[in-house]
Structure 1
Amino acid sequence: MFERVTSRSPRTSLLRTRAAILAAGLGTTAVLGAGVAVAAELQSSPAKAPVAAPAAKPEAQVKAPDKAAAQAQAAAPATKPQAAATPSWVKPVKQYTKTASYAQNGARWAATHSGQDFAVPTGTKVYAVNGGTVVKAGGNGAGDGPAYGNAVVIKHGNGMYSQYAHLSQVNVKIGQIVKTGQKIALSGNTGNSSGPHLHFEIRKSANYGSAVDPVSFLRAKGLSL
């Protein structure tokens, strides 16, 4: 058998070739046209500014003090330092030399010595060792006998008494309330005395014969003589 060959005319082939070229040309034109259109659109549109990155937040700042509060603080009075507390017990004289002691034997006493002697010049200030009420004051040992000379006896809040003797001057009176460390007399050489000094006693009552060791008593109060 013979294969049938379809013959094509030169005119038909030419037309088809032109059609393909035309189609290809249209495609290229379309692509180029689209590119031109996009470029025109980009050129006509205003450029958008780049979005700025958010600024870093500053670190927290210390809040300035309120003006009214600052003025009030400046106007407030400065705190005053607290005054030192007054000691509960003090020495009867500030500077002295201890001589005859409690319970010491001697020819000058009918029995053992009833207190502590402090050698001081006549006129030395004598202080109340603790606050209290004056129950005896004056000559003749304030009622305890001439051996004591001028004397003072003070009753204290703890039920004990203090006595001060051989004074040259008495500066308080019976019934007077005195404070710890208050001047009550001046030392002297009155009564049965071999020289200027202060005779000091701590007693359980206002009267002679009830004395205790004054050095030990004051030591228990935190005071060393």
Structure 2
Amino acid sequence: MFATRGGPSRARGRAGECPYPGLASFGREQARWFFGRDELTAELVARLDTWLRGGGVQVVVAPSGAGKSSLLHAGLLSRLADGALPGSSRWPTLVFTPTAQPLAALAGEIAVLTGADPAHPAAEPQRWVEVLRGHIGPEGSGARVLVVVDQFEELFTLGTDDQDRRTFIELLVQLAGPPQPVGLVLAYPGHRQRRPNGAVVERGRPGTPHTAGHTSDRPHRLGPRSRFQP
């Protein structure tokens, strides 16, 4: 017996399918087995809807192993793929980690989506903002793109060049702002001293463009998982 979102019932799965991924995170294909974060997922969807109207960054903060990736993939992205917001089932989604070369990682994702040439991303980073905005379409068209940067702490822990880090953050800020902002979501453990909040969410990091309209009002912090949320 498994609990489903409609209450306890016999969850039907393929023969040999295990509903628990072990130490791996839940993916979108395992959303039916993902429980205990329904209220938080609904709040993320609602706040993303707000940011898409005027620009902003949504940050999900929790210690490593608390379930940030599962919340994003089996929660938020799965719900959007099911049409939680108007047209969201058709929104292209870029999901990646910064790696030690965040500009190349971002350029590669945009290139796959748009068919653009990913060569020399560091030499012309501004081009990628223009390429992605061109793919979204004109303002008012209703088209959207989601950009999810998981393990955002890699930007500060893998020896990324300072200028590349600064440029990457600048590009994210631009993408999250008007006109036609992308849906930008960052996941970060929040326990290291060099927090990304100072670079993207809060004011005060030297050399980083910042406007109040581009920031999250407060990061999402994952609390204890309830056994079954309605």
Q: For the superposition of Structure 1 and Structure 2, which TM-score range results when normalised by the shorter chain? A: under 0.3
Higher RCO, 1 vs 2 (CA within 8 Å, ≥6 residues apart) = 2
Relative to the length of structure 1, the TM-score reads 0.22
More helix by share: 2
More strand by share: 1
